[in-house]
Structures are given as structure tokens and as C-alpha cells.
Amino acid sequence: MQQRTILITGCSSGIGYAAAHTLRERGWKVFASCRQTRDCERLAAEGFDAPQLDYTDASSIATAVDHVLEQTGGTLDALYNNGAHATPGAVEDLPTDALREIFESNFFGWHELTRKIIPVMRAQGHGRIIQCSSVLGLVTMPWRGAYNSTKFALEGLTDTLRIELRDTPIHVTLIEPGPITSNIRANSIPHFERWIDWKSSARKVQYESALLDRLYTARGPDRFELPPQAVVDRLIHALEADRPRPRYYVTTPTRISGILKRILPTRALDWVLSR
């Protein structure tokens, strides 16, 4: 049987890194892409085909896709969109250019890459598109307006795509993690420092008492935090099951949030989330 192939983005660490290793162990040919060249080189040293792919750079996306298709003879069984970053800060302190930047990397780039892969999957007669969303694509939390908005947009776009592709053999799936061990908090610090003038904010005291400590203080796992493998286990089902689910909730907070959003009035849900 021909080896199955998958392109995964954001493989430098966390979920993407765990997914690349696990799927390779399961016999998949993994294209483990990263945004930074140094991370691609590190993964190449681990035996991966690791093309450089930066969601904010259209030429990078095109080059990565061309490379993958050249290596596979023009086919690709699965795409796992995973790479993303956060820009913490209150919405009122978030410059519009900061929103544009995060949408390029967390949303528009995903769309551009997916559009390049869909014709390949149509031509070959099958395919799996899996999007790594978030509990913050179901409900919102304070200080995360930029990230919340990209994930809400991703949920809407992916739900539409799934309905539109019902008449094709291409399966579209959302995976919705909650607290997962990763570097996303540390990786968000440069974006916070670039965009958020918290010292001039009307919420300066709240930044000092809440957000700064969470960003800059090393701490153990959050309550209910799970390792990346918990997401990978759902990814395996989405890739290999004959009938993959449209959605996979991963952590306890995600399951609870999904239930509360359905049963609580908006004001009651706002109160819960603000706690």
C-alpha cells in the first residue's frame, strides 16, 4: 500500500512537533513545516522532510506546496493546519495593525494554503483537511481578543468549507484543544511587547495584577492542562477513521465550554468566563 502523506504546519514544538513524530511512527510520510529556517534544519536533522512555510508570506506557502507535490508526485492525503501565535492585551489597547498581523498568520495564511491543497485532493479523489482551532473558538476570554477573533473566524470558515465539500470525498475537521502544554505563552511575549502600550492603558493596574504575571512568571501546568499527545490522539482518529467527526473536543474546559455555550444565557456565560 502506498505510504500516506501529510503536510503539518507549526512543527517547531508543541502539538505540531508531537504530531510529526507520532504520525511518522504510524507509517505516514510527514512534511513537518516550520516558520523559522533554524527549526526546519533541526527537524531535518531528525530525519523529517521539513519545508519552510510562513503563513504571512504567500511565496513561502507556494514554495512549500510545490516542494511537497514534487516529492509526492502531485498528491497529498492530508493537511493539518496548526501553526499560530497569540497577541495578548485588552481589545481597547490592541492596534488594528496588530489584528491584521495575527489574522495573516492565524487565518488568511491557513486559507491560502488550504485553497492550494483542495484542487490536489479533488483530482486524486480523497483527502483530509484538519484545522487546529481552540476552546477560544467556542468561547472568549479576557485579554485574548486577538487570538479569540482569529479562532472564531476559523470556526466559521471551516464549518462553511465542510458543508460546501459534502459532495466531495474530502473530509474537513476541527480539533478544539483547551489548555495544552506548549510554548504559545512564551512565544506571545514579543508580540505583546511590540504592540501593547500597557503602561499608558486605562487598565494598567489590571495588567500589573493579572496579565504580566501570567506572561512573564514561570509556572507549572495550568489546571486541566494536557500534553500535546492528547491532541495528536484526536488527530489520528480524524486522519484514519472511515468516518471522521466534524469536531473533536480535547480537554475538560473545552467540553464544559461547549455545553455552557449551548445552555446558558449570554449574560450568565459572560459572568462565568470573566471569572
Known catalytic residues are 147
For residues 239 and 128, is the Cβ–Cβ distance under 8 A? yes
DSSP string, 90-154: -GGG--HHHHHHHHIIIIIHHHHHHHHHHHHHHHHT-EEEEEE--GGGTS--TTBHHHHHHHHHH
Question: For residue 179, with 0-12 CB atoms within 10 Å meaning exposed, 13-18 middle and 19 or more buried, which class applies?
Answer: middle
Residue type, 255: R
- Report the C-alpha gap between 134 and 166 in whole angstroms: 23
Compute the C-alpha angle 61/64/67, nearest 5°.
150
Core vs surface per residue 129-141: b (16+ CB within 10 A) or e: bbbbbbbbbbbbe
- Report the C-alpha gap between 225 and 228 in whole angstroms: 10
List the grid coordinates of 116. Answer: 492550494
- Report the C-alpha gap between 269 and 219 in whole angstroms: 28
- Coil vs helix vs strand at 196: coil
